[in-house]
Structure 1
């Protein structure tokens, strides 16, 4: 059994550096099992437990500016089912239930080897991915680099002149992709006036207060106390800046790029992305997809279909700053081979690329075999360390078991 060290410690650190796009709650888990009506969900608290367990599956009904609804692929992937009884063992099933897992799937070569649904979540339903959405940006960034549309060593303002005069504008694309662009990490999503709360007004997660504009909120990102390229300051503004740049260099809105990617992976169900105060999109948290299509996305990565730049940047950990960040050593003492780049995590010694989002939304893509493991969960807070450890241990155990 894999112990909580390399992988789990990394995402624990992620929770320290970014409170996530959603609010934690002191409400006990037992409240969920007491039941509540939809009419009880306050529009200023839909991200809190237990309400987010419903809102995450119906996010377009709660976000301030709505979503872009994008169609399923016209050539959906051919899916087979060959359920392996030895994957979801009684012990794993107990962990899935205790971890508030509402969606779990294991896939290889478009064959579903295991699946699990709970908490009212069913096949074909969409769920908000939170920060697992960021990996979609990383994939599209890699494609743009391969196409010669973007140079990772160029400044962001080279491609989006509107960023002139801002910290993000002066940052190199590669640094933005690694979350070390020199802007401060977002935090405190509860208090009006805080950087986290003000940001969420722009991306639709706060339904009160006047926005200043999505692009303006990116330009207004404050400087970190650390220089560019030296510290892992995890911020949604990095991701959304990349999305605006990708739209500019491709000559298409980001939602169209996402739709084309969804077509390429053979998505079976519609996919959505949250709109911003400018009418653009926020892929830092706002992609909604079905469990099957989330797993297909992970498989797309696992099968090496993204392109050269995406994998090359993740393989090259020489510029990774995660483990140069002060304080990281104590948390990640055994995890030196886990890094962050292209808006994704990489377990180098295990050849696993993974995404991670608040409340436990994750895909694990095994580059050795093409096996993909996906989780959609409803934790009572952004990052529950105990449940996080269970998820990471079980994901790697399943992959290593199937490798044999």
Structure 2
């Protein structure tokens, strides 16, 4: 069942395997491998396990406001299966045990290793959940590099409609680091809760009247923590940045996404969820194929994002993830990790990555240009042991590949 990423991580680090065992007892793991049709999935349950195994790959059929369908690149990268990295029996078991349906190791369009499971195949689209936030970070870096956005200016400078709101007083940098002063989302299933009310605006809840995407951003309440002391992870930061980027670039965000998809040579259609206002929600709503997600992470690994993207990720002076108790330990499983530009960084490993609900994770090796991506269907938003296993295995794979060069 989908929960706040923050609440789930804290819960899992407290009671760990007890949570996993009780959830698994409720619905047998065998259900992960069963097929579903839209008619069999409750309208209010498509984000719940095991139905999400179908919905994640067909989410446009469930979203209240639909999606923008964007074309493949006019010059797609030629993706070739060349091998070069052997998936060991131990790694294969880890992939199966953590419900990974797509795993790809890629460099320059060459697939060194892959694993597809549970009917998922190359070319099929999957919802990235919060792993989509890195697309916002990359496009933000382009706007910063061109001088259209200043990281030190407040959100209300670019969106005057945010005057008087908490997030309106946050700087672009504070939103990019999840330090805007607004509360994290929680409880996505109770009408009236902040998580449920937000999901009405971005198409993930089909009951209740929305108040408007921008109005929901303005209505975000304050976090109980002082700015700079806690990683308050919330979708409104990402969607606000997207609205600002669209405004300064003079183009709808979906057009900017399409142009980015074209520039890294995406082979398949890419989609982005519409909101109640007719804008888009890249905080969760990008659907792409495993190969194209690997091409996007290759784009980052090859240094093609804006200079400010890499500069901000390298400068951890304003990081709040690594000062947040419990949370920092979860993400430090493979290496100490910081957060900026809507992305994670293992600075000691020279790896930038994205992570989203249910196990969507993509790692970009800045040192040698490799990408490792996972598309998964965990039973809950964030299963901490599975996430840590993903990160540790990916770093081991990247180090092995570096040694082969």
1:369 and 2:380 equivalent?
A: no
- The answer to whether structure 1 residue 16 and structure 2 residue 15 are counterparts is no
Equivalent residue for 2:385? 386
**Distance apart, 1:322 and its partner CA:** 1.6
Q: Distance in 2 between matches of 1:14 and 1:371?
A: 32
Contact 2:200 2:207 in 1 (8 A): yes
C-alpha displacement of 1:100: 1.0
Deviations 1:367-386 (A, max 9, x none): 00001001001111111122
SS at match of 2:356: coil
- Aligned counterpart, 1:5: none
- Could you say which residue in structure 2 is the equivalent of 1:230? 229
Structure 1 residues 175, 217: CA separation in 2 closer, same or farther (over 3 Å shift)?
same
Residue in 1 that maps onto 2:398 = 399
1:93 is displaced (CA, Å) by 1.4
Query: Which 10-residue stretch deviates more, 116-125 or 293-302?
Result: 116-125
Contact 1:29 1:49 in 2 (8 A): no
Matched, 1:253 2:236: no
Map 1:196-207; keep pairs closer than 5 Å. 196-207=195-206
Equivalence for 1:168: 167
What TM-score, normalized by structure 1, do the two folds share?
0.92
8 Å CA contact 1:18–1:234 kept in 2: the answer is: no
Distance, in Å, in 1 between the alignment partners of 2:154 and 2:11 is 24
The answer to whether the 8 A contact 1:18-1:186 is kept is no
Q: Are residue 129 (structure 1) and residue 128 (structure 2) matched? A: yes
Do 2:334 and 2:392's aligned partners in 1 also have CA atoms closer than 8 Å?
no
The 1:142/1:57 distance shift into structure 2, 3 A limit, reads same
- How far residue 28 of structure 1 moved from its aligned partner, in angstroms, is 3.7
User: What whole-Å deviation, never above 9, does each CA across 1:163-195 have from its counterpart, x for those lacking one?
Assistant: 111111110000000001000010011100000
Cα distance, 1:15–1:273 mapped onto 2, change above 3 Å: same
Partner Cα distance (2:7, 2:137) in 1: 17
1:16, CA displacement in angstroms? 2.9
Query: When the two structures are aligned, how many residues end up with a matched partner?
Result: 389
Take 1:164 and 1:109, find their aligned partners in 2: how far apart are those partners? 45
Report SS of the residue matched to 1:376: strand
Q: CA RMSD in A?
A: 2.1
Rounded to whole Å, the distance in 2 between the matches of 1:376 and 1:88 is 16
In the other structure, the counterpart of 2:348 is: 349
Write the distance in 1 (CA, Å) between the matches of 2:334 and 2:144.
29
Q: Are 2:271 and 1:278 aligned?
A: no
3-state DSSP class of the match of 1:364?
Answer: strand
Q: How far does residue 116 in structure 1 lie from its aligned partner after superposition?
A: 1.4
CA distance in 2: counterparts of 1:333 and 1:163, whole angstroms: 35
Cα distance in 1, alignment partners of residues 143 and 352 from structure 2:
19
Where does the alignment leave 5 or more consecutive residues of structure 1 unmatched?
Answer: 1-10
> What SS class does the counterpart of residue 272 from structure 2 fall into?
strand
Q: State the match for 1:54 in structure 2.
A: 54
CA contact (8 A) 2:273 2:280 kept: yes
Alpha-carbon distance in structure 2 between the residues aligned to 1:18 and 1:249: 40
Counterpart of 1:119 in structure 2 is 118
Q: Is the 8 A contact 1:323 1:336 kept in 2?
A: no
Matched, 1:311 2:310: yes
Residue by residue, what CA displacement relative to the aligned partner does 1:9-53 show, whole Å, maximum 9, x if unpaired? xx986843799xxxx975342333455544210111001111110
Instruction: Report if aligned partners of 1:83, 1:113 keep a CA contact under 8 Å in 2.
Output: yes
Per-residue deviation, 1:89: 1.4
Distance, in Å, in 2 between the alignment partners of 1:73 and 1:318 is 37
1:143 alignment partner in structure 2: 142
Change (3 A) 1:330 1:259: closer
Distance in 2 of aligned mates of 1:195 and 1:30: 33
1:18–1:187 Cα contact (<8 Å) kept: no
Tell me, yes or no, if the aligned pair for 2:201 and 2:210 is still in contact at 8 Å: yes
2:179 match: 180
Report the CA distance between 1:77 and its aligned residue. Answer: 1.2
1:44 is aligned to 2:37: no
Change (3 A) 1:383 1:263: same
Give the match for residue 193 of structure 2: 194
Tell me which residue corresponds to 1:301. Answer: 300
Question: Quick check: 1:17–1:185 contact (8 Å CA) kept in 2?
Answer: no
> Do the aligned residues in 1 keep the contact of 2:331 with 2:337 (CA within 8 Å)?
no
1:81 Cα deviation after fit: 2.2
